[in-house]
Amino acid sequence: MVSPIPDFFQQRYGYAPLLVRAPGRVNLIGEHTDYNGGFVLPFAIDRRTLVALGARDDGMLRVASTFSDEVIELPLAELAAAQASGALRGWAAYPLGVAWALGVFGADLAAVPGADILIDSNVPVGAGLSSSAAIESAVAMALTDIWQLGFSRETLARVGQRAENDAVGAPTGIMDQSASLLGQADSAVFLDCRSLESQVVQLGFDAAGLAVLVMDTGVTHEHSTGGYGERRASCEAGAAALGVESLREIGIDELDRAGRILDDVTYRRVRHVVTENQRVLDTVALLETDGPTAIGALLDASHRSLRDDFEVSVPELDLAVETALENGAIGARMTGGGFGGAAIALVPIDGVSRLQVAVDGAFAEHGFGVPETFTVRPSEGAKREP
Ligand code: ADP
Ligand code: MG
């Protein structure tokens, strides 16, 4: 990978950095299940955040990004107070929040050296591809390296989530960081968000001649302020009314009972989560027995459930999915938290350009903004660059 970042770092700070890269992710299926203790099946993609990092002996954290002109400095000694008072804001809350969260997980922030951190990313922001987890995972792995913490990838995923929840203030689950840290080529990460056990599942897209086309609607979302928190609250209310700790405890066969107890909206939120968990299990089973060409109907059902029951789709996402299904995709769904962002289509490789043209045309016809479409490959997770 060619990146100007190592040279840039060398020029700016006068020494050669440690380099760590961590990918964004696409969630194949299992949406809004992670914070309900359920199942998800994301894969790491071939778009990444690269972090160049070096130790400083003055106890200062200094973060910069090719994404912004600001350079933010904060002494390690002030990190905890800054987190507690909500002073970590904007994009710097991600890397600084990770440094803080490493402390929560046992790093002695009074004993470790400071750091210069330079971030460069080609994961599109707010497209549902988790540019946030890419930053968190890369920074967590890089700081773990120079601070010699020896944390496992599973722990780093929890560090990233903690940073996002308690420093950035977005109540997200652990899926994105797990995909970014645990992903493998041509594979997905099947994650049980209750036990945090994970299993790498072969996708076989290459052998089947399938590509994943991301259709980024360009409609942006804001997790910390949007409907995401509201959906999460509905799920918690549903679980409480049903007398369970999380919706993971509810099976398809208990939906009738749920329908009698819950109000209509809460019931539909619950029904999405419960059926989506089953769809993830079915997808994993079908991949094994019948291969990836068999999972299209499950992707389609996931989209309908997110649109009608969970109500987190938007007209642009629905149009992208419909257009994909009318133009050769074997399955398609919105991916990510919703309220904008991207949809994905599983499509034969030789049908990709035709589908891209069709999506462009459909968006123009509806007077929607110009979508961005590109393929992603299931790829390896975070790693130190040589
Ligand atoms: P996504 O779906 O892309 O994860 P989020 O809203 O969760 O969307 O995270 C996007 C935020 O992450 C941005 O608003 C910014 O604060 C931060 N971010 C993403 N990429 C970069 C980058 N290259 N440099 C600095 N901050 C970034
Ligand atoms: Mg995010």
| Residue 210, phi then psi, degrees to nearest 5 | -105, 145
Residue-level pLDDT at 337 = 87
CA of 282 to the centre of ligand 2 (A): 26
Output the six-digit token pair for 122: 């080609």
pLDDT confidence of 225, banded at 50, 70, 90? Answer: low
Q: Which of 159, 179, 199 is the last residue of a domain?
A: 199
Q: What is the mean pLDDT of residues 24-53?
A: 97
Distance, CA of 268 to CA of 144 (rounded, Å):
42
Which domain range does residue 312 map to?
A: 204-376
Question: DSSP assignment of 328-382, as one string?
Answer: T-SEEEEESS-SSSEEEEEEEGGGHHHHHHHHHHHHHHTTPPPPEEEEE------
pLDDT confidence of 171, banded at 50, 70, 90? Answer: confident
Residue-level pLDDT at 1 = 47
Q: What is the mean pLDDT of residues 69-86?
A: 96
| Residues 193, 223 share a domain | no
Task: List Cα–Cα distances, 139 to 93, 129, 384, in angstroms.
Answer: 12, 17, 11
Ligand nearest to the CA of 129: 1
Q: Is the CB of 340 under 6 A from ligand 1?
A: no
pLDDT of 48 strictly over 90: yes
What CATH code is carried by the domain that includes residue 165? 3.30.230.10
Is residue 382 a part of any domain in this protein?
no
Residue-level pLDDT at 268 = 98
Q: Which of 199, 215, 236 is the last residue of a domain?
A: 199
Residue-level pLDDT at 2 = 57
End-to-end Cα distance, the chain: 11
CA of 129 to the centre of ligand 1 (A): 10
Residue from 176, 216, 300, 309 carrying the catalytic annotation: 176
Q: What does the DSSP 8-state code read for residue 78? A: G
| Alpha-carbon dihedral 342, 157, 141, 104, rounded to 10 degrees | 130
Model pTM score: 0.93
Q: Give the nearest ligand 1 atom to 133 CA.
A: 4
| Residues 323, 224 share a domain | yes
Q: Evaluate whether 5 touches 120 at the Cβ level (below 8 Å).
A: yes
Quick one: which of 124, 89, 65 has its CA closest to 336?
A: 124
Q: Taking the mean position of all CA atoms in its chain, how far away is CA 274? A: 21
CA of 125 to the centre of ligand 1 (A): 5
Output the six-digit token pair for 306: 């997110």
- 1-25 pLDDT, tens per residue? 457 788 888 888 888 999 999 999 9
Q: What is the mean pLDDT of residues 75-90?
A: 96
SS3 213: strand
pLDDT of 273 strictly over 50: yes
Q: Evaluate whether 22 touches 137 at the Cβ level (below 8 Å).
A: yes
Quick one: which of 113, 114, 133, 115 has its CA closest to 123?
A: 133
Q: Evaluate whether 117 touches 51 at the Cβ level (below 8 Å).
A: yes
Q: Give the nearest ligand 1 atom to 168 CA.
A: 16
Q: Is the CB of 119 under 6 A from ligand 1?
A: yes
Biggest CA–CA distance in the chain, Å, is 67
Output the six-digit token pair for 295: 């999972």
What CATH code is carried by the domain that includes residue 346? 3.30.70.890
Is residue 383 a part of any domain in this protein?
no
Residue-level pLDDT at 13 = 84
| Residues 212, 193 share a domain | no
Higher pLDDT, 203 or 14: 203
- Strand (E) or helix (H) holding 239: helix 227-242
pLDDT of 224 strictly over 60: no
Residue-level pLDDT at 182 = 98
What are residue 344's DSSP bridge partners?
A: 214, 333
**Span of 127-131, 230-234, 245-249, 284-288 with lowest mean pLDDT:** 127-131
CA of 162 to the centre of ligand 1 (A): 16
Is residue 298 a part of any domain in this protein?
yes
Mutate to test the pocket of ligand 1, among 25, 131, 335 (most ligand atoms within 8 A of CB): 131
Report the number of distinct structural domains present in the chain.
2
DSSP-H helix ranges across 183-336: 205-208, 227-242, 255-261, 264-289, 296-308, 315-326
Q: Give the nearest ligand 1 atom to 170 CA.
A: 7
Name which residue sits closest to atom 11 of ligand 1, judged by CA.
132
Q: Is the CB of 24 under 6 A from ligand 1?
A: no
Q: What is the mean pLDDT of residues 368-386?
A: 96
Q: Give the nearest ligand 1 atom to 224 CA.
A: 6
Looking at every residue in the chain, the average pLDDT score rounds to: 95
SS3 205: helix
Quick one: which of 129, 298, 279 has its CA closest to 213?
A: 129
Q: Which of 147, 166, 199 is the last residue of a domain?
A: 199
Is residue 79 a part of any domain in this protein?
yes
Residue-level pLDDT at 228 = 85
**Span of 155-164, 184-193, 214-223 with lowest mean pLDDT:** 214-223
pLDDT of 41 strictly over 80: yes
Q: What does the DSSP 8-state code read for residue 251? A: -
Distance, CA of 190 to CA of 198 (rounded, Å):
6
Q: Is the dihedral of CA 72, 76, 80, 85 positive or negative?
A: negative
- 87-116 pLDDT, tens per residue? 999 999 999 999 999 999 999 999 999 999
| Residues 40, 184 share a domain | yes
176 is catalytic: yes
Is residue 384 a part of any domain in this protein?
no
Strand ranges (E), 30-79: 39-56, 60-65, 71-75
Task: List Cα–Cα distances, 225 to 220, 229, 230, 233, in angstroms.
Answer: 12, 7, 9, 13
